[in-house]
Structure 1
Amino acid sequence: MYLFSSSKLTFVNPDVSDLGAFSVHVTDTEGVSSSHTLTEDALNTMLELSYNIRHPIVPLKHQLNYEVLEKGHVRFWLQCLKMSPAVTYRFIVNDKEVTSSDSHKISHDVNTGVIQMTVDHFSKASEATYTVQIHDGRAKTQSSLVLVGDVFKAALKEAEFQRSEHIRKQGPHFAEYLSYHVDDDCTVLLVCKVANVKKETVFHWFKDEEEIVPETPPNVMSGSVALPISLFSRKDQGHYKAKLSDDRGKDTSVFDISGQVFDDIINAIAHIAGSSASELVLQCTPEGIRLQCYMKYYTEEIRTAWLHKDSKISSSEKMRIAGTAEMAWMQIREPSEKEKGHYSIQIMDATKSHTRTFDLSGQAYTDAYEEYLRLKAAAFAEKNRGRVVGGLPDVVTIMEQKTLSLTCTVWGDPSPEVTWFKNENEVVSTEHAKITLEANKFASLTITAVTSEDSGKYSINVRNKYGGEFVEITVSVYKQGESPPEAKMGGRGATPAPLASKTPAQTPTPAQTHIPQTPTPSLKSPTPSPKSPTPTAKSPTPTPKSPTPTRRSYDSGAGQG
């Protein structure tokens, strides 16, 4: 029967000389023995373990660190894996112990193992090396944080920012600073959110230091404020500022629309505009054939490319590229067979290209070319027809026995014929009512010693082979000592073709006369579908209208004696 017992070999001060193989033999047994080789690694492990047993340490979960708090306070802290209620510790700043006070609040929590010091006023004087020394029974440890140089500057900057933020938020302030948003209709909004406001809080917008007064006053009580910028373009670049203030304080937010920010806004607009773009629409004008692309909003800052048979078109006198707020267009001036073919426009945003097309060939080109010729001829006629370009009043009141002189300037190419009428009857030149036309330019009707018989509705008809117009003047003659009669307005009208004779019956009246405007496009010209964001296109270039004569009322003093 064997009795089990143990035996051990203790090294008091082991070193490398103790390395080697150790064995033990048990006497009075049937050869029981054991051996162990002590290596250098095993020796080092035992030496370290021996040291830790004789010199215990407080294990740390987190070394000494710092964080900047809301009011600009700075908290230094570390965390032990465990600690006893008997733990003691010291904070050392640049080799000088700091004790708990109003400016340096020091505390610990046994349950969490956290030891901390909060510095209320972190300043340039706070640049230092911070150390915490901990004793817990026989165990002890320390942890240090070097807060100098760039690391300290970053901490100080953050502390000062948080301190100023705390002060700012004591009064009305911006909860979210200015940013931009593009609405679905391509209106750009500068938006912000405000907090800690009251009814007396005022809000002001500025651009480049000049105040902006929006149509709708800002409502700060809603918590958010927006400045709409419609028809956004390069002119809207600048330095924008929003100011918020009341008796408790003030706050400012700034936003610079330039550079990349401007490009980002244009790309956002281009995305909405390109997605809404109609197919290309043909529109004939007196100058040529125009292809138009309607969209929610267009500005020249949007990146676009026009192509003819896959070749890019550059704007020129022959192929003019432009647009309005409603559409982009490309006009072919004085078109020819060379301009037949497939056309397209590319509207580019930051991520994709929106393409719209039109095939200007075959019957589409033939119809468009015929319509262009018709409009060109009509515009030429409108430009050169006879007309009154100024000088006649609408109403004349004159005293008996005065001289009435109705004079105007007329124009036309070729020079127009001029006919005067009274109450739809042609006026024949006499000594009493003399008609003159000087240099085919200055037309006059002069009536001497007017009487009540000369009252009535006078008109001048100016015409040539391309058409003409008439202007009416109401003349009222009153007796000396009477009050001038109430004025009744005359009018003007245009005749689209020259009159065959001078008979009053053929003189147009206001109810019968249509003043020519831009010629109506051919019904064969395509128009946008009902889904197009804008109505059917009108002729983009209006033809010149006749100038309106100066309106003035004559009394007895206006006559010429």
Structure 2
Amino acid sequence: MDITVGSPRFPMFNLQKGKSYCFRVRSVIKFGVSESSEPSLPISLGQPQVHGLKSKKEYVFRVKSVGRAGNSTYSNESPPILVCNLDGGGQYYQFRVFAANVVGVGKPSEPSEAFLCEEWTMPEPGCPYDLEFREVRHNSLVVLWAVPLYEGQQGPITGYLVELSEGDQSQSWTAVNEKPIADTVFKVSGLQSGQTYRLRVCAFNKAGMGIPSLPSELIRAQTQPDTRDIEIGVDNDGFIFLAFEATEITEKSTFVWSKNYKEAIEATIGTAMSILTFTNATKEDLGLYTVEMSDNSDISSSFTFAAEDLERLTELGSDSPALQVAGGGVRGKGACVSGCRLRARATLQSSASFSTTERSLVLQPIKINFDKASGLIEILFDQLSKEDEGSYTAQLCDGRAKNQFTQVLVDERPYFLEFLSWTVTEDCEFIIKCKVTNVSKDTTLKWFKDGVETPAVYDQQTGVSTMTVQQVTKKEAGHCKAVASDGRGQDVSTLELLHEEYDKLLQLLSKQCALSAGPVRIQCTAVGFKLYCSLKYYISYMKTSWHFKESRIGQLERCKPGSSMQKLRVEVFAPTENDKGKYTLEMFDDQEKHTRSLGLSGQAFADALLKYQRLKQVTVAAKNRAKVTKGLPDVVAIMESKSLCLTCFADGDHAPEMFWLRNDKGIASGGPVQHRQRE
């Protein structure tokens, strides 16, 4: 290798372990190239080794840069490095660090202090390590650490003690917590704003306190500008939430939530804010919640979700308006059809509206009386008519949530509590459902499809009626109607399964059919392979395609996709080694793509190819086997002193050899009996 570079350092890559290399250098100027230097000593690349740690153990390392402008964040962990070739103990070691980039390797750091390498046998635990800080404020901070690698002869570890020292020169350490704590995280309070501190941690076991950790880096107690804390509240739906807003954020920044610094939690993430929502908060959700930025742990905050918060916010979130029927009555020239009594807090800013199944009634003093003090709402009708029948709904909004109550104005007839609606089950069944109420023993419920009565299941006790279609076809499209009636009157519910509604049904049905698909399987035949996937049933609305090695399989001479009612298949005729690979079935329901695949290679392909070849041989042998195509007649008239000619036809590859028998005994050719065989 002969390369010209402009630096006295040059990195070498892609060298092989176990091989030795020699290097030499030549200088280049405008007048020419010098003679080569003497070759270097052979350099052999072996397993990476680090001395000064525990022998036959693997370690990972993290580094960070330190300068006048501050300290960088820690790098990612290095790959595991095996430590070996240590002496039996009592030896001192020093460490140096080199920085490297694409240009080359820099100068080494100053050697570390001498490190005595000896095995720990003490009863007390070793030192905690990897101290980190979170939520640094002007009077407090949170410190985290890793448990010691050595628990001591009288382990396990029972607790930790956190110690504090002011400044970077002081050798005086003061315990922060009075009693050892079990967690590996602790919030230090009562700090002096602007003062710098160092911290260290000691572990305890039954034997007592172990050696302290190395002192942490110098940290200043101050709140950074634009620092945000976690906020708690109730959203518009009445759910309790925790929210955190970050001011310094990049494209790669993500919010990392956790509970008690252990359990990771997913939250809703916006542009610069993350929200953790409790849809049904209980006592199990109580605890310490923390959040930090993935690329900058200095931006962090925590909040202790206590029982008092749960009780207060649950009550606040449930302050939806409560409606209660107050009853109807005659007033003046008309009738009070329905009334509602409202109970709400004094701070409630409410508005109400009534609506029927056909139209909406706007609050107007002339038609509706609404007394906010008593919560009584009245609707006055001058004259009642058939058009006034229907459902009347009182709705109330208090700024956070809504509540409503529905009063039905009918002539005591049966009516639909739930109108016709449809759903698709996991078993790909199409179900149309409705529910009637105010029924009697004489009430009947009839279903009609495009004007023709159709059977359905009706439970008079519950009022629920259903019609189940095991397999959807085009005839399900159309107009559905259910009629509930008795001597008091009738009510009608309709459902249009046409156009967009029918397409919506097919899309959801296609999705369930695709989800019901099993794995791709292979079946060997005398002509090749048949790859197939079984499902509940197949509908043409679902778009399907087969792929081989990411290429779509079309209608080719050697490949033929197809389908049946409960299977999707592709046939590969006369397979060869070129047909080895991954086969994928794609099913698209007009919104999502669902896939099933089979890797046909290795031993699986060899077994399938061998089975195909055997089936092919059996088929060919059966086709070419000798057989009589036209036999002897059942009855033959024989005349005395006359010749008799018996003829039969046979086929086979190769031409079959013919034998004649009489009374199950062979007849030899010769004399009066002659055998003749013609192709």
Which TM-score tier does this pair reach, normalised by the shorter chain?
Answer: 0.3 to 0.5
Structure 2 length normalisation: TM-score? Answer: 0.36
Higher helix proportion? 1
Larger relative contact order, structure 1 or 2 (CA cutoff 8 Å, min sep 6): 1
Q: Report which of the two structures shows the higher radius of gyration computed on alpha carbons.
A: 1
